[in-house]
Amino acid sequence: MKIDAVERVALQPVVALDHVQVRLSGRTILDDVSLTINEGEFVAILGPNGAGKSTLLKLLLGLIKPSAGSITILGQPPRRGNSGIGYAPQHRVLEAELALRARDVVGFGLDGHRWGPGWPSRRRNSLIEQALEEVGALHFANAPVGQLSGGEQQRLLIAQALLTNPRLLLLDEPLANLDLTREKEIVALVDSICRSRQVSALLVSHDVNPLLQSIDRVLYLANGKSTIGTPDEVINSETLTRLYNSPVEVVHALGRMFVVGVEN
């Protein structure tokens, strides 16, 4: 753990949700969710499909508003385009024929949604170089992005998210479709960024096992409800049975956690 319980008490929350509810198309996605995320924390967001993991990220990004309750991000209400937040969306494998270079993709973090490499400038290029170096991607900066592996492309999305020097990173399933080795590399990278920058990170995942040695806490969402705590506090049969309102068994084997009785 990077931050012990005593240190956390003294830190100002980066994220605070107070009795938040989200209803979409007549369905309650999140109900009475209250939590705080502190500076420098690395938190995994877990839960089955449809539990509200991506919805939570949209709330923090200011893309949707809660039906009830309140949210503060870095001491302010959520808003679109908050430079204090770095966001890496769900990764989609890019076509092999795509001619854009790796550095061009990273540059979109400065250029917004404008297609193309943007206006050249010494300052812009310096920021991109620094971000590429921080995520270990400088050696393939000029490679066509469509020819890079999934893990390499994921590094570019994280570099893109770092360009505005954020205090909060939101990472939507960065481990999806990666092999075990690449999963560990990405987790280690995010952990290193949290420590070196003292930035908070919320990482959405379907599997806690690659994260166990690095995360501070787990936020588990199910049935519109939430619970947050250390992995041992949250991922156990008693807690998950209560959260799902249905029998759940957590099995420890081969150094991994297996949640039995839950459909993703």
One pLDDT digit (tens) per residue for the chain, 264 residues? 454 544 444 457 999 999 999 999 889 999 999 999 999 999 999 999 989 999 999 999 999 999 999 999 999 999 998 999 999 998 766 665 567 899 988 988 776 544 445 556 888 889 999 999 999 999 999 999 888 999 999 999 999 999 989 999 999 999 998 999 999 999 999 999 999 999 999 999 999 999 999 999 999 999 999 999 999 999 999 999 999 988 999 998 877 888 887 665
Calpha distance 246→250 (Å, rounded): 13
Q: What is the pLDDT of residue 258?
A: 83
Q: What is the pLDDT of residue 188?
A: 97
Calpha distance 15→226 (Å, rounded): 15
Q: What is the pLDDT of residue 41?
A: 96
Q: What is the pLDDT of residue 9?
A: 40
Q: What is the pLDDT of residue 8?
A: 41
- CATH architecture of the domain 5-93+157-260 equals 3-Layer(aba) Sandwich (3.40)
Q: Specify whether the CB–CB gap between 163 and 108 falls below 8 A.
A: no
Calpha distance 253→198 (Å, rounded): 33
How far, CA to CA in Å, does 12 sit from each of 7, 80, 149, 184?
A: 11, 22, 38, 30
Calpha distance 114→81 (Å, rounded): 14
Residue 159 belongs to what H/E stretch? helix 150-162
Q: What is the pLDDT of residue 114?
A: 46
Q: What is the pLDDT of residue 202?
A: 98
Boundaries of every domain in the chain: 5-93+157-260
Q: What is the pLDDT of residue 7?
A: 46
Structure tokens at 22: 């989200």
pTM of the model: 0.88
Q: Specify whether the CB–CB gap between 22 and 66 falls below 8 A.
A: yes
Q: What is the pLDDT of residue 119?
A: 53
Structure tokens at 178: 């990666």
How far, CA to CA in Å, does 250 sit from each of 10, 130, 204, 238?
A: 33, 42, 20, 9
